[in-house]
Amino acid sequence: MALPEMPEPSGRPRQEPSLLLIGTDFRCSPLELREKVAYGGHEGEDLLVHLLARPGIAEAFLLSTCNRTEIYVQPRDPGNDDEAYRAALELTFLRRVQEMEKPGRLYVKRNDEAARHLLGVASGLESMVLGEPEILGQIKQQSALAETVGASGPVIRRLLRSAGSAGARSRQETAISSGAVSLGYAIVELARNIFSGMENCRVLLIGAGEIARSVARPLVERGARELKVANRGAERARQFQEEIPQAQLLSFDARLAAVREAEVVVASTGAEEPVLTRKQLKEAMKARPTSPLLVVDLGVPRNVEPAAGKIENLFLHTIDSLEHLIQRNLKKRKEEVPRVQEIIEEELTQFRAWYRNLEAEPVVAQIQKQAERIRQQEVAAVLSRFPAETHGDLERLTRSLVRKILHHPSAHLRGQGGQSEGAARHDLSRLHLVRELFHLDEDREDKDES
């Protein structure tokens, strides 16, 4: 694996990864600004190529979604990221919108904070809707882009792996993404609590307006078996079908017959009078004696007579009860935040440990190189004294000896990064000790002189 250019140990342990993040999100910038600094596939590629052309930047990663644009860079000089900062700021944001310079529009995070932020984004903690799952896919997609362009090196690549792991673990080990937090998904959630699967659900929508469209998409997406739409106006119904081609259009009067066959009924008309009365629903329930029926009334004023809620096996929900469900789910997600933060810290600790190991890698490589040189010299000195047919054995024997002698010290040096942060300074002094013991610096100087 190619290692990034790192300075030789200078007495200061590299406890934190060298990273720089500049970004803006829905909290800092309105949509009008965010859309100006949003990057499509090719634009993102161009940006990364331009950034890498700057001498101060070793690696880069761009995350651009509808809610955020963030640029992560690994400065070539960990001690001085001024050049990387100026380049990332100018090329990513100011070149497009000068207004981004205003205070509060951008956030800048460095090193640990930058890494923690990306892990938080991947886990859904920074999302507009807490715990939303799409962001993890977006990060994966954009990391593939950075990989294609060659913008991600070992540090960014490892950071993205940690982010992916934090995101996946947060969703598997906590309830940060559980429960519906939108009207459409709340209806899906209710249906899933009643029926054995969405694929068994036939859905009837009464009304074809904006609300009907917004709830229809999740129902179709989650595999509803059938979607029928009964609307008074034919034009709006046709528009609905253009947007959601799976929908079958019905006349408004056919709604009562359709209720008998449906599992889920969603009413969202602007009618002043109920479009489904208790009597009509009671009749419909007689045609389906043991099958439950979920009726969701999203109309204001109400589209379904409230008394229908008393019918056995009929579950009537209104916009209020759905809102109550959404708030309950959001509250549950918020309760999961500390557990997600724990996961992020665990992943961050592993990332830091990996980063610190980079310090040991050159030392291990030097020891192995030096040992190999000595081996070759010694073998060459005595080789003529041995019969030619034993030369191969001699090579194998000496290589094996060197490998076995160096195995434990190498493994130990590589493994030291896994220790606690408090041990980092101690580790560094050990690295110096190892250099002295093996005469690594002298070895290099001798080589340089020669």
Partner 1 sequence: MTTFLDVANILLPLLYLGTAISYGFVFFASHPTANRTATPALRGSLLLHLAYLAALAIHHQQFPAATVSQALSIVAFAVAVVYAYVEWHGRERSTGFWMVALVFFFQLLSSLLTRPNPPDRAIFHDKFFAVHVSLALLGYAAFVLASAYGFLFLQLYRDLKGGRFSTFYGKLPPLEVLERMMIGALSVGFATLTGAVIVGAVWAQRLDQANWFRDPKILITLATWFLYALALTLRRLRHWKGRQTAIASLAGLCAILFSLMAVNFFFTDFHGFL
Q: Is 385 exposed, middle or buried (0-12, 13-18, 19+ CB in 10 A)?
A: exposed
Nearest to partner 1 of 193, 377 (CB atom): 193
Of these, 235, 242, 272, 312, which contacts partner 1 (CB under 8 A)?
Answer: 312
Of these, 10, 98, 196, 420, which contacts partner 1 (CB under 8 A)?
Answer: 196
Q: Please state, in angstroms and rounded to a whole number, the distance separating the CA atoms of residues 41 and 206.
A: 40
**407 near partner 1, rule: CB under 8 A:** no
Nearest to partner 1 of 138, 178 (CB atom): 178
**Which residues are the active-site residues?**
66
Of these, 11, 30, 98, 193, which contacts partner 1 (CB under 8 A)?
Answer: 193
**333 near partner 1, rule: CB under 8 A:** no
**315 near partner 1, rule: CB under 8 A:** yes
Q: Please state, in angstroms and rounded to a whole number, the distance separating the CA atoms of residues 10 and 339.
A: 37
Region from 24-32, 112-120, 131-139, 315-323 binding partner 1, contact rule CB under 8 A? 315-323
**338 near partner 1, rule: CB under 8 A:** no
| Amino acid making up residue 132 | E
Q: Please state, in angstroms and rounded to a whole number, the distance separating the CA atoms of residues 136 and 67.
A: 13
Which residues have a Cβ under 8 Å from the Cβ of 389 and sit 6 or more positions away?
Answer: none
**247 near partner 1, rule: CB under 8 A:** no
List the one residue out of 230, 308, 220 whose CA is nearest residue 266: 230
Residue 169: CB minimum distance to partner 1, A? 11
Nearest to partner 1 of 13, 179 (CB atom): 179
Contact flags string 138-177 toward partner 1, x per CB under 8 A: -----------------------------------x-x--
Residue 57: CB minimum distance to partner 1, A? 40
Residues in the chain: 450
List the one residue out of 326, 26, 344, 283 whose CA is nearest residue 159: 344
Nearest to partner 1 of 290, 450 (CB atom): 290
Task: Find the helix or strand (DSSP H, E) in which 31 lies.
Answer: helix 31-34
**297 near partner 1, rule: CB under 8 A:** no
Q: Please state, in angstroms and rounded to a whole number, the distance separating the CA atoms of residues 360 and 427.
A: 9
Tokens of 434: 């190892």
Q: Please state, in angstroms and rounded to a whole number, the distance separating the CA atoms of residues 84 and 4.
A: 16
Q: Please state, in angstroms and rounded to a whole number, the distance separating the CA atoms of residues 245 and 341.
A: 42
Q: What angle do CA 33, 37, 43 make, to 5 degrees?
A: 155
**328 near partner 1, rule: CB under 8 A:** yes
**305 near partner 1, rule: CB under 8 A:** no
Region from 31-39, 47-55, 193-201, 366-374 binding partner 1, contact rule CB under 8 A? 193-201
Q: Please state, in angstroms and rounded to a whole number, the distance separating the CA atoms of residues 419 and 413.
A: 11
Region from 136-144, 191-199, 248-256, 429-437 binding partner 1, contact rule CB under 8 A? 191-199
Nearest to partner 1 of 107, 315 (CB atom): 315
Map tokens 């949509």 to a residue: 31
Of these, 189, 297, 347, 359, which contacts partner 1 (CB under 8 A)?
Answer: 189
Other residues' Cβ atoms within 10 Å of the Cβ of residue 312: 8
Query: Which residue ranges make up the site for partner 1 (CB under 8 A)?
Result: 173, 175, 178-179, 189-190, 192-196, 289-290, 292, 309, 312-313, 315, 317, 320-321, 324-325, 328
